[in-house]
Amino acid sequence: MQKISSVLLLVIIAFVGNATTQAQNTAEVQNGTIKGVVKDFSNNLVPGVTITLTNIDTKKEFKVVTNETGEYRSQVPPGVYNLDTYLPGFEPLHRPYLKLNAGEALSQQLKLTIAIHHPVRQLFQLISSSIRAAPTST
């Protein structure tokens, strides 16, 4: 009797495991993948970048952060997406209207530029205006 119970339990576990795997495979086919690598202007890999994918129709956002090798990957439902990046010290990057079909893998290689912070820009503007406004001596 115990042998039959053990066999029955193994059959149930195998069935549940198979059903879970099939559900995951179905979800992957119904979704698509947006992936890529983020680098800076010197081609260095950039970890820690927040990538926001916004579905244009539903306005639903999906966020993913680049790993230690600058890679990102997000499975999202099919649709048209805007891709935006955020990392302090870098200018935000915007990629509009990325069309993703079910089961498709869309690769977006991104290159970030260093941000010029507002205080530096304000100082530059102040110095520039001072130079232009300075009286000339005769």
Instruction: Give the CATH number, domain containing residue 44.
Output: 2.60.40.1120
Find residue 123's DSSP bridge partners: none
| Residues 77 and 62 reside in one and the same domain | yes
Token pair for 102: 């079910």
pLDDT in tens, 10-22: 445 555 455 444 5
Instruction: Estimate to the nearest angstrom the gap between the alpha carbon of 17 and the chain centroid.
Output: 31
| Residues 117 and 60 reside in one and the same domain | yes
| Residues 54 and 14 reside in one and the same domain | no
| Residues 37 and 76 reside in one and the same domain | yes
| Residues 36 and 10 reside in one and the same domain | no
Q: Residue 131 falls within a domain, yes or no?
A: no
Number of domains in the chain: 2
| Residues 59 and 115 reside in one and the same domain | yes
pLDDT in tens, 67-114: 999 999 999 999 999 999 999 999 999 999 999 999 999 999 999 999
- DSSP sequence for 71-130: EEEEEE-SEEEEEEEE-TTB---EEEEEEE-TT-EEE--EEE-B---HHHHHHHHHHHHH
Q: Residue 59 falls within a domain, yes or no?
A: yes
| Residues 23 and 89 reside in one and the same domain | no
What is the structure's pLDDT at 124?
Answer: 58
H-type helices in the chain, by residue range?
2-30, 118-133
Which residue segment(s) compose the domain that 60 sits in?
32-121
Q: Residue 132 falls within a domain, yes or no?
A: no
